[in-house]
Amino acid sequence: MTKETSSITSGRAELLPALKRELKKNGCLTREIMDTVAGRSGLPLNEIYGVATFYAYLPLAPLGQYVIKVCRCLPCDMKDAQAVIGGIKQELGIAPGETTADGKFSLELVNCIGACDQAPAMLINAKLYGNLTPQRIVEILKSY
Ligand code: FES
């Protein structure tokens, strides 16, 4: 193994911890931050981007004060999660992956959040809401 190969291998092993540190420091992983990590680790930018976009908890842009994570998996989908997502879109005027102009809410679609028995379900930051309907969405969002 050459010195350069060894350095890149070490960079790969340290990539996820490095991205988590940058997330903690900056709140998101912008292109500039990924450029910096690429420079430090010796890894190509596309590899950094690939890892950053693989994990849903590594945002590429600043998130709102409240991050809404709606489950998009089959059990929730079969209980009409699409109506819930539609209700949020209508109430907040944002689509999944977007943040309201005032920076209050971000909307994300995620895989199972472990509340299948309460489908359809969502998290707002760490608070779980289940058995959602479009009507409940309006009440819940107004409480924030
Ligand atoms: S499938 Fe939606 S919470 Fe598990």
pLDDT tens readout for residues 24-73:
999 899 999 999 999 999 999 999 999 998 887 788 888 999 999 999 99
- For the Cβ of 109 lying below 6 angstroms from any atom of ligand 1, the answer is no
Residues 43 and 72 in one domain: no
3 C-alpha to ligand 1 centroid (Å): 46
Say what the pLDDT of residue 58 is. 87
Residues 48 and 113 in one domain: no
Contact 75, 133 (CB under 8 A): no
Round to whole Å and give the CA distance between 67 and 105.
6
Tell me the pLDDT tens digit for each residue of 75-95: 999 999 999 999 999 999 999
Residues 25 and 47 in one domain: yes
Which residue among 76, 82, 131 is best mutated to probe the pocket of ligand 1, counting the most ligand atoms within 8 A of its Cβ? Answer: 76
Nearest 5°: phi and psi at 133?
A: -135, 160
Number of domains the chain contains: 2
State pTM to two decimals.
Answer: 0.75
Q: Find the mean pLDDT for residues 3-12.
A: 64
Query: What's the domain range around 126?
Result: 66-142
Whole-Å CA distances, 14 to 19, 51, 52, 54, 136: 9, 12, 13, 16, 43
61 in any annotated domain: no
Mean pLDDT across the chain, nearest whole number? Answer: 91
Name the residue among 67, 57, 60, 113 with its Cα closest to residue 88.
Answer: 67
Q: What is the CATH number of the domain that holds 124?
A: 3.40.30.10
